[in-house]
């Protein structure tokens, strides 16, 4: 019989994302052992924090606070790695299905530049290529306040805009390639600009980069553009997990 003082394993959640991560029978796994060790450290950290706060006006406060911070700095990387590890386990079937662990960013950069140099950006701007991402954005932005709508659209539709398993790091790499041929003045004089409210950076962020990413993923997986767009959505969280980048979308014109 289980000790009633011990919480049921089904109540145990990740320290960071709060998702339930264990099932009965997982007690002997290495991840559960890591969870137990982190749990002990977390409780020790809480005690040190309380002890420091209770002695705020004592001479030893500085030393107590230092102990708390040192343990906190030791614990945080383990929390991050633990959260990443259990998420990888969760997504492992999809990761293996699309070979997400074999992403080559040098190849991604080269292929993005090749697409840009082939005239893809100019064709998107001229309207010679009708992007599925533009059609979706036009529909979803209808009636939204002009100054906010593209930011709101990005926030609501990150899964279909970000380049799937290439993640934020891939988004930045593709954007760097696209900017080589995405002239600000040419875009402002284009028919696309006249027929929509997309600003230069809006069009880059929610049309050009996803279109390039979609074509690369279609080539990766040997599928149509429509199916590649679905893969981008399906692997969005995997890309964010495996290939993060310190990126904050900036929708203001430079």
Which DSSP string do the residues of 10-24 spell out, in sequence order? Answer: GG-B-TTT--B---T
- The sign one gets for the Cα dihedral 13, 14, 16, 17 is negative
pLDDT score of 142 more than 60 = no
Query: Could you read off the pLDDT of 173-204 as tens digits, one per residue?
Result: 999 999 988 888 888 888 777 777 778 888 89
Joined together, the tokens standing for residue 135 give 């059609």
What pLDDT is attached to residue 247? 45
What pLDDT is attached to residue 254? 40
What pLDDT is attached to residue 214? 97
What pLDDT is attached to residue 138? 58
Question: Do the Cβ atoms of 9 and 27 come closer than 8 Å?
Answer: yes
What pLDDT is attached to residue 148? 58
What pLDDT is attached to residue 161? 93
Query: Could you read off the pLDDT of 58-76 as tens digits, one per residue?
Result: 889 999 999 999 999 999 9
Report residue 10's pLDDT band, with 50, 70 and 90 as the boundaries: low
What pLDDT is attached to residue 198? 78
Please give the mean pLDDT across all residues of the chain. Answer: 85
Query: Could you read off the pLDDT of 164-173 as tens digits, one per residue?
Result: 999 999 999 9
Report residue 5's pLDDT band, with 50, 70 and 90 as the boundaries: very low
Question: Do the Cβ atoms of 239 and 168 come closer than 8 Å?
Answer: yes
């Amino acid at each position: 019989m289980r000790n009633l003082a011990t919480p049921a394993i089904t109540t145990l959640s990740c320290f960071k994302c709060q998702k339930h991560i264990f099932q009965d029978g997982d007690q002997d796994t290495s991840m559960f052992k890591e969870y137990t060790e982190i749990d002990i450290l977390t409780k020790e950290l809480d005690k040190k924090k309380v002890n420091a706060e209770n002695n705020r006006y004592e001479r030893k406060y500085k030393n107590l606070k230092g102990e708390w911070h040192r343990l906190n700095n030791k614990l945080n990387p383990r929390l991050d790695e633990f959260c990443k590890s259990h998420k990888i386990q969760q997504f492992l079937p999809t990761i293996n299905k699309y070979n997400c662990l074999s992403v080559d960013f040098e190849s991604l950069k080269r292929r993005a530049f090749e697409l840009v140099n082939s005239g893809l950006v100019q064709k998107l701007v001229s309207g010679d290529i009708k992007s599925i991402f533009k059609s979706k954005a036009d529909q979803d932005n209808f009636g939204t306040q002009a100054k906010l709508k593209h930011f709101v659209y990005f926030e609501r539709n990150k899964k279909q805009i970000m380049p799937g398993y290439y993640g934020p790091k891939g988004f930045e790499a593709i954007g760097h390639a696209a900017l080589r041929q995405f002239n600000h003045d040419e875009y402002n004089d284009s028919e696309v600009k006249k027929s929509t409210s997309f600003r230069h950076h809006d069009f880059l962020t929610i049309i050009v980069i996803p279109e390039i990413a979609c074509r690369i993923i279609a080539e990766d997986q040997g599928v149509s553009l429509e199916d590649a767009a679905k893969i981008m959505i399906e692997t969005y969280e995997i890309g964010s997990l495996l290939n993060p980048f310190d990126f904050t979308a900036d929708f203001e014109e430079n």
